[in-house]
Structures are given as structure tokens and as C-alpha cells.
A and B are shown apart, each in its own frame.
Chain A
Amino acid sequence: MTPPMNGKVNADLDLTMSRIIKAPRAAVWQAWSDPARFAQWWLPAPYKCRVVEMTLSPGGAFVTEMSEDGRTFTPHLNACFLAVDEGARIVFTNLMSGGWRPTENTYPAALTATITLRDHGKDTEYAAHVMHKNGADRTIHEELGFHDGWGTVAAQLARLVE
């Protein structure tokens, strides 16, 4: 099932990243969709990740916890899947929890993320598009004299204020 439209990229608020992973698409999908596998790579060491719920269907809960000592776990992600195309695409948001229930706590940022897997020969093109709501519209950058999005802000800033 494909939704009527895919999220368009807003260069000021969104992250896009993609890379080729040297493994078949099925293997990458399994690493993402199997909670036991997912927990092994989602958080950086020394943090331990525990998947509380991962129901891979629209409206399904996506809840993870983290622990520094491996014993005491604290909430990490409380999100909801919006779209799941087996083997190809996962869309989730932390603006809602399981069952599309609106949430308040969206630390560190309110986001909707689309993960896309495509065949790349025998390997997999892995892409993430993460949309954020923080900040205002493009005109901010134009008025401040930043035209190329956040990526170049630092360099322009240095010139502006130093």
C-alpha cells in the first residue's frame, strides 16, 4: 500500500541520508523488523536497548527502552508506525503512540521518519528521511541571509558574527 503522497523534503527541517549496505535487502529488513535483532544496533554502546513493542503495521506501537547498566531501563522511544511495506519501507512518528494516540513527550524532537530499502545489485540502498517540525518557514533563512539550509549556517554564521 502506498500513501497518496510521500513526504517532500524540506531542506531546512529535514534530514536525509542514504548509503549502500553490503547485504541483501531481506537481511537489512530482518535487522530492522525483528525486535531481537533491532535491539542490538539501535542504540550506541554502552546503552542497551529493549524493544517493548514493535507491531509492524499502520497504527502499531513502536516502543523502546534504554539502559546504561543493563538492569534499569528508562523510556526511549514511544512511537507509532504509520506505514509498513514489507521489505521496503517503514514510516513512524513519535507524535503518536500505538493506536494513533496523540502524545506530548516527543523528546528529543517531534519527528516522522521514513526508512526505505531498495535493491542495489545484490546489496541494499538504505535511506532515511526524517522530518522535524521545529523552526519556522524558509523565510527565516532568507531574512537572515542563509539561503542554503542548515548545512551552511555555521559557515555563514562565522562570517556574520565573528
Chain B
Amino acid sequence: MILSLMDQYQQRLDGIFQALADPTRRAVLGRLGRGPASIMELAQPFDMALPSFMKHIRFLEDSGWIRTRKDGRVRTCTLEKKTFTAANAWLAQQRAVWEGRADRLEHFVARGVKKETAR
């Protein structure tokens, strides 16, 4: 049960990083970092057919980087804050793992040294 949750988390992270592997999607995120924007506005700098551009938008939405909302005929995209935190938390979590190992190694070795000197 726990493993399957972990797998889900890993899959989600894979999607998050995969979304960043494309220059168009990174540029879109960069633009959205300055505030929400419509699809038309986001697509404008790119020499790309709208259906192709929409694929990138959908990828960003599915991977959790952005939210989109439709108001009448205009679809507006907003950056998803939680995803930034997840991408950042991943490396922070790995750091915690390795720092923890060093802590325990240090304690373990210190105990051994104490025993040696007591002898």
C-alpha cells in the first residue's frame, strides 16, 4: 500500500521534471511566473500551430504545473504553486536522507571510539 503511494509520488515527480525538459514549456512557465495569461497571449511568441501549442499546455496541466480556467471564449492559465514546492521538496528530501545517514554513522562510530578508549 505504502509502496504504491510512493510509486504514484515518483510518477508524479517524473511528470513534473519531464514537463521541464522542453524549451516551449519552460518559456510558458517563465511567462506565467509573472502572472496569469490567456492561451492566445502565451502562444503569441511561438512560431507554432495552435494545436501543437495546446499539447504543451495540456502537458503542463496534466503534470500539475499549471491550472487553466475558461471564461467565455478565453482560457486563462495560472501557475500551480504546489508543484514548484514538490519539485524543490524532492531534492531537499534527498538531502535529509543523506544528512541523516551521516548523523547515524557519526553516532555509531563515536560509540565505538568510546569503547576502544575505555578498554
A binds B: yes
Interface residue A157 (Cβ < 8 Å from any Cβ of B)? yes
| Most chain A CB inside 10 Å of its own CB: which residue of B7, B30, B102 | B102
A23 and B13 contact, CB distance less than 8 A: no
Contacts of B107 in A (CB 8 A): 41
A153 to B7, CA, bound (A): 25
Contacts of B118 in A (CB 8 A): none
| A109-B94, A132-B94 known; A140+B20 contact, CB < 8 A | yes
Interface majority SS (helix, strand, loop, mixed), chain A: mixed
| Most chain B CB inside 10 Å of its own CB: which residue of A24, A28, A107, A161 | A161
Looking at the assembled complex, report how far the CB atom of B32 sits from the nearest CB atom of chain A, in whole angstroms.
9
Stretch in A1-9, A55-63, A83-91, A143-151 touching the partner: A143-151
Looking at the assembled complex, report how far the CB atom of B12 sits from the nearest CB atom of chain A, in whole angstroms.
12
Contacts of B113 in A (CB 8 A): 22-24, 27
Interface residue B49 (Cβ < 8 Å from any Cβ of A)? no
| Most chain B CB inside 10 Å of its own CB: which residue of A21, A37, A145 | A21
Interface size bracket, B side: 35 or more
B105 and A15 contact, CB distance less than 8 A: no
A157 and B81 contact, CB distance less than 8 A: yes
B95 and A17 contact, CB distance less than 8 A: yes
A160 and B33 contact, CB distance less than 8 A: yes
Interface residue A116 (Cβ < 8 Å from any Cβ of B)? no
Interface residue B62 (Cβ < 8 Å from any Cβ of A)? no
A143 and B26 contact, CB distance less than 8 A: yes
A153 and B88 contact, CB distance less than 8 A: yes
The residues of A with any CB-CB pair to B shorter than 8 Å are: 13, 15, 17, 19, 21-24, 27-28, 31-32, 37, 40-42, 44, 74, 107-109, 126, 128, 130, 132, 134-136, 139-140, 143-145, 150, 153-154, 157, 160-162
